[in-house]
A and B are shown apart, each in its own frame.
Chain A
Amino acid sequence: MSIAISDTHSRRTWWRENQQKLTPYIFLIPGVLFFLVYVIIPIFESFWLSGYDWDGLGAKTWIGLDNYRELFDDEAFYTSLKNNVLWLVLYMLAVPAGLGIAIFLNQKVRGIRAYKSLFFFPFVISQVVVGLIFAWFYAPNFGLFYNLIEWATGSGIAILADPNLVTYGIIAAGLWPQIAYCMILYLTGLNAVDPEQIEAARLDGAKGFRMLWYVILPQLRPATFMAVVVTVIGALRSFDLVSIMTDGGPFGSSRVLSFYMFEQALSEYGYRMGYGAAIAVILFLIMMVFISGFIWKMVDDERKGL
């Protein structure tokens, strides 16, 4: 009798004692489940699929590493890779440009809120609309940019028809909303800058660039970190603009890896699931380099108590 009582008693207290510890895990379960089903498992599935030759309908044939062998001998893959690097490097311009605009807008003038929202506007409109606007802007014969160049130099340049310029044209379109995004991150960051430190620096005679570099930027570190992260990820998943503006053309010169993957695996002329998966794996590995870098930095910062 007494044993039974102490048993139920102890069971109840076990739950009570561990409630605090268990609750977070219980709350995590749905999130973890979805993350597993929609992110982690598909990653492994991609690795697995990349060893097959499969059209998405018929039978799968195991071909081992043949997809990768073909990929490393595929001109289109190297074009896409080169364009991805271009995107990564040039997209980074959004960070200093966003900072510049944020500092410029960080003042108390009549109607500054209206100006801020105008600068933020490109981030609000959809990427598809941005792509369309820029495609018309560059369009031969009637585009504003084309006509400007024609007026200035005598012969217009159709950016989106020129295999050497097309990627730069698309990146420029992508920078427009990305700069706005970075600007917003810095504007919120600037709100948190300690006015006393600036006062003190001013008393010590700091101004202009030195003030920016030694006093303000260090305080903006979290904003800079976020801006770099979203810009890197934005550059690596640049898909919508390429698809809207050129569809990868002319003759594939504006493809990026994510677009090439889609084209091979899912477009009307593709349905090579295995090959698409192989491209996805390569893209994943490239992203992993950056993602683990970011995670490492975050953990490091936490350890240092920053």
Chain B
Amino acid sequence: MRLKATVSISALAAIAASTAYAGTVKYYGDFDPAPLAAMQAVIADFEAANPDIKIEFQNFDHEGYKTSIRNFLSADAPDLANWYAGNRMAPFVNAGQFQDISDVWEENGLKEALASALPSMTMDDKQWGIPYTYYQWGIYYNKDVYEQVGVEVPETWDQFIENCAAFKEAGIDCATTGTKALWPGAGIFDYLNLRTNGYEFHMDLANGEVPWTDDRVRATFAEWGKLVEPGYITQNHAALDWQDAAALLVQGQAANYVMGNFAVAVFKQGGMTDDTLGFMPFPTINPDVPRAEEAPTDTVHLTSAAQNPEDAKAFLAYLASPDAQTKINAAMGQLPINKDATVAEDDPFIQAGFELLSSTEGGIAQFFDRDAPPEMAKIGMEGFQQFMVQPDQLDNILERLEKARGRIYK
């Protein structure tokens, strides 16, 4: 069977070689229009520098891509495919559908240049893809509302909670979120846990090495309870999409929003400007814990069925370069991972994110649904949502998560 497969692949390769370019690299991705244009420009630059290689790029829509990748990787695989870092790539790595590209990292000195993403691209001491962009999470706030209530931007969690009392007094939601799609709640949990227990513990928890009924997890939820129990979070968040909650912040009905930097575009569409929209890092809870941040990373992977791995690797190496990363991230409004790349100087949020992430000493988490295995992520995020609606159910929630942990991590 295997022999037959190799024969047919080499036969295909022979046909391809005789008819098309010597080096054609098939690349599937899922870009929005602006990043797509940037990626096409990057591809054009690469092809200009390497005239004997042609990149055949095919774009999918985001949601469709997530399901179709499973089909095309086993049926009709391209050479390169977009995906995500951390545990989200684990099923494909374990199923042998992504190729080890440690040699690309080694030869191009990427372990230094892409250092901040190295842990999230490494499994079994090997690197499995090239990260090309990430973005910071943090708290976006309405400066007008802060002024109206007369409180300072907080640096510690205690100050944040004190402010909440003042916002509540003024009839403003201290923190807003929209958990209809579940994931926005996970951002709050991640930060509370990173600030309470630190990066190492958070990763151990996401990897199933710590029980959910552990006292340290309860400590995280106790901090969260300070926000939930007095009703400082927008009511009915379970029926809101994250954009609905963004509207509340724009309208001044809410003060703070734990979100990723992609939300800035939505806030600005709603009429906010650099003068009214503020960004702050998530406040300190435990001062002894080194500051860790959340920065989901998008990646490109070499598939195991790639027919032209050599040329594909050349493109991956180019994608990791400062030039390519500067270009594509300028178009995406996100942050390059290569430390020698540059970011737009006129965007205060990008600037703040770049400083925040490059000075992170604790570690960079990928986001709960990428750090934890998919099943655990789903059950966990449901638990977070439930806690924000029914905080008295905490024991039930933690027991349910613990039961799921026992089943999922074998």
- Which residues of A are interface residues toward B (Cβ below 8 A)? 55-58, 70, 75, 138-141, 158-161, 163, 246-247, 249-252, 263, 266-272
Contact = CB atoms under 8 A, between A and B. Distances in A.
Contacts of B66: 268
B378 A269 contact: yes
Interface of A is mostly: loop
A161 B239 contact: yes
Contacts of A70: 407
B95 interface: yes
B91 A247 contact: no
Given A161-B237, A249-B385, A55 B91 contact: yes
- Between A55, A75, A141, the greatest number of chain B beta carbons within 10 A of the residue's beta carbon is seen for A141
Contacts, number: 81
Contacts of B97: 57
A176 B31 CA distance: 39
Contacts of A139: 239, 244
B389 A250 contact: yes
Interface of B is mostly: helix
Given A57-B95, A158-B236, A272-B375, A252 B74 contact: no
**Number of chain B interface residues as a range:** 20 to 34
B216 interface: no
Contacts of A269: 369, 374-375, 377-378
B70 interface: yes
Contact of B382 (A57, A58, A252): A252
B228 to A, nearest CB: 14
B407 to A, nearest CB: 7
Contacts of B239: 138-140, 158-161, 246, 250
A249 B236 contact: no
B389 A251 contact: yes
A160 B248 CA distance: 18
Interface of B: 66-67, 70, 74, 91, 94-95, 97, 179-182, 235-240, 244, 248, 369, 374-375, 377-378, 382-383, 385-386, 389-390, 400, 407
Contact of A270 (B179, B182, B378, B390): B378
B236 A75 contact: no
B91 A250 contact: no
21 contacts: A55-B95, A57-B74, A58-B94, A75-B400, A139-B239, A140-B240, A141-B236, A161-B239, A246-B239, A250-B179, A250-B238, A250-B239, A250-B385, A250-B389, A251-B383, A269-B375, A269-B377, A269-B378, A271-B70, A271-B91, A272-B375
A182 B400 CA distance: 42
B389 A161 contact: yes
Nearest to A139: B239
**Interface pairs A-B: 6 shortest CB-CB:** A269-B378, A250-B238, A161-B239, A158-B236, A251-B386, A161-B238
A159 B236 CA distance: 9
Contact of A250 (B67, B248, B378, B386): B386
Contact of B375 (A56, A159, A161, A270): A270
